[in-house]
Structure 1
């Protein structure tokens, strides 16, 4: 059973949403050039100092980007002795979703990406953070696993984890493309299942 959301958490969510929405509205109506920390903070009714408690840059506010986090319940269920492709794919999708904050995908995001390509680069920086975080977690779990201990390996756990994450990251691109217009949790995990099946088929053809 999920824990009830505290008043503090609700207030933080409301402030985050207010800042994000103000940044998006300004970018769409006046262009990204008109988005300033001062204007966004004022529209949300908070100080500039408060703005930086939620977003590192105005671009992050426009895109609604957050630092990647790991759901402890999802991590606890990560079975490194199981199907590594599927297990890592599900863990990565969970962490990927944490940088965007919720199911809602701004309908204006494709428009903004097309007009301001550097926003895509900013989002990619967050995806890289996800991959780095995941590679460390997978390496740690792999090193301590029964499947790794007591066996000789050509590559160490860190190298193996990085390659695994890179392979799974390719599958994530498939998921994001398939669910661009409907990025709900259900749609994305369904697309992940399809993508993993396709990836296995492609890898088999390459053998």
Structure 2
């Protein structure tokens, strides 16, 4: 059962949404060059200093990007003793979705189409997702029965975790491409499951 949202959390979410809405609408209607931090903060009813408590730069506000996070439900559903490709891929997609906040998929698609160079900024957050998930997989794999039976292998648990994340990351890039104009939670997980089936088929031919 999910915990009720506190007044402070609700206020923070409202401020985040107001800043993102002001920045993204300005970028779409007037152009990215007309997005100013002071104007965006004023439109959201906060100070410029407060803006930087939510976003590192105006580009992050325009795209609606925030630091990746992992909640208890994500960790509870992750089973390191299960199908690692599927488990890590699902965990990565959940964490990837956390960087997007409440941003509109349609708006983000329109902004990236108009300003393709902003895709590099989003990719920087994807790298953060990969680093966060690698740390989780390394920690859980190291303490698992699965790894205990393979300690004589010449590879470190961290290298194994990095490799799994890299393989899973390839599948997630396919998901992002297929759902770029409609990136709902449901559509992305459906695309991920289809992509995993295709990946297994391809890997059989390669290995």
Shorter-chain TM range is over 0.9
Taking the aligned partners of 2:81 and 2:163, their CA distance within structure 1 comes to: 17
Does residue 138 of structure 1 match 2:157? Answer: no
Matches within 5 A, 1:146-165: 146-151=145-150, 152-165=152-165
After superposition, the Cα gap between the structure-2 partners of 1:86 and 1:127, relative to the gap in structure 1 and judged at 3 Å, is: same
SS in 2 for 1:147: helix
Matches within 5 A, 1:85-124: 85-102=85-102, 104-105=104-105, 107-124=106-123
Taking the aligned partners of 2:28 and 2:189, their CA distance within structure 1 comes to: 30
Structure 1 residue 71: deviation in Å? 1.7
Deviations 1:95-129 (A, max 9, x none): 00000014731x23333223323211000000000
Taking the aligned partners of 2:28 and 2:204, their CA distance within structure 1 comes to: 45
Structure 1 counterpart of 2:65? 65
Give the paired residue count.
206
Taking the aligned partners of 2:44 and 2:134, their CA distance within structure 1 comes to: 37
Deviations 1:46-84 (A, max 9, x none): 100110111010000000000000122211221111100
Deviations 1:6-45 (A, max 9, x none): 1111111111110000001111111111111101001111
CA RMSD for the aligned pairs?
1.3
Does residue 2 of structure 1 match 2:2? Answer: yes
Taking the aligned partners of 1:111 and 1:73, their CA distance within structure 2 comes to: 32
